[in-house]
Amino acid sequence: MKPNLYDLFNKIRLIIVIVILLLFSEITIASGDIFPLGARSAGMGRVSVAMTGFWGIQNNPAGIALTDKYSVGINYESRFGLNELSTKNVAIIVPLNFGVIGLSFNHFGYSVYSEIKLGLVYSRSFSKYFRIGVQLDYLSTSIGDNYGTKNNVTFEIGIQSDITENITLGAYAFNPIMVKLADYNQEKLASVFRFGVAYKFDTRLIVSLEAEKSSNINPILLRMGLEYNLNSKFFFRGGIASRYEIFTFGFGMKFNHFSFDLAATMHQSLGFSPQSSIIFTF
């Protein structure tokens, strides 16, 4: 009797997860709606395309071109407080004489439904004011109970330009070639495009605006976020978005070889999603 109850529980849990995935497809990698990652971005309304720093390896590969130290980062997000919808991310960045390379690994879901994204990135600054990055992605989606696994290969590309000392423009595209996701109904992996600007009012305050368009969703998503730093060691962040995640907040701490960030996003229907990041530099 116990195995039957256990199987029933797993099936009910699978149904719940699938319903959420269908209703809110922006959660998953398989939907093609790749969320910006890292607690810094999450605290700022998930703006990312015009921001530099470690988690550019997940959000806009051009954003890591100025990295001059070996870095390792870990990120964890619990979507709506459900372990079944958690996202785990690990990445490493290595600066070289001819640019910056990096490797990232993402895992979403649990044993019944899971997604993996493995990325290899190369980024380079061609002048003081222009940066470009390209990433090759391997995607794998698995559904339990012998439903099988689907694998895909695609790429993403991003650019950034410092048009003045205070203004940075950024543009990013994920899967612009729209690779096939499944033979049924010629389903394709969605393309995602972002464009944004970041403005530094002074050494303490950064404000960023961003627009995102997914081929799966008609409305353009707008985001805005800000970051205020206190003595370059403590950071306070906030943000808003035009769809689903109506506001976000977070804070961070930065030391010589270590930084720690916490954030939470508030979905208008499903509640809070906490996120934390740790970055080590060598």
pLDDT of residue 256: 87
The residues near 135 (Cβ < 8 Å, ≥ 6 apart) are 57, 61, 119, 120, 121, 122, 155, 156, 157
What lies within 8 Å, CB to CB, of 239 at 6+ separation is 43, 44, 45, 46, 47, 223, 224, 225, 226, 247, 248, 249
Residue 66 is encoded by which pair of tokens?
């100025």
User: Is the confidence at residue 74, as pLDDT, over 50?
Assistant: yes
The pLDDT assigned to 25 comes to 42
Integer Cα distance of 193 and 174 in angstroms: 6
Fold of 2-281: Porin (2.40.160)
Nearest to 144 by CA among 10, 22, 28: 10
User: How far apart are alpha carbons 35 and 46 in whole angstroms?
Assistant: 8
Distances (CA, A) of 85 to 16, 61, 74: 11, 25, 17
Q: Residue 26: pLDDT above 60? A: no
What percentage of the chain carries pLDDT values higher than 90? 62
Quick: pLDDT tens for 9-23: 655 655 655 555 545
- Residue 264 CA: distances (Å) to CA of 104, 164, 244: 22, 32, 14
Structure-block tokens of residue 48 = 């990312």
Looking at residues 126-140, what average pLDDT do you find?
A: 93
Q: Return the pLDDT at 47.
A: 96
Q: What are phi and psi of 46, to 5 degrees?
A: 70, 20
Top-confidence residue, 179 or 259: 259
Phi, psi of 186 (to 5 degrees): 55, 40
The C-alpha angle with vertex 195 and arms to 72 and 69, in degrees rounded to 5, equals 20
Lowest-confidence range among 57-61, 130-134, 181-185, 260-264? 181-185
Is the pLDDT confidence value at 31 over 50?
no
Express each pLDDT in 210-240 by its tens digit: 999 988 777 899 999 999 999 889 999 999 9
**CA 125 – CA 108 distance, rounded (Å):** 32
135-147 pLDDT per residue, tens: 999 999 888 766 7
Two tokens at 268?
Answer: 């208008």
| Residue 38 CB contacts under 8 Å (≥ 6 apart), including other chains | 48, 53, 54, 55, 58, 59, 73, 75, 89, 261, 275, 277
- Per-residue pLDDT of 108-120, as tens digits, reads 988 788 889 999 9
Q: For residue 217, what are the β-bridge partners?
A: 214
Residue 256: phi and psi, rounded to 5, are -60, -50
Burial of 193 (0-12, 13-18, 19+ CB in 10 A): middle
Specify the pLDDT at position 161. Answer: 96
* Res 185: pLDDT: 64
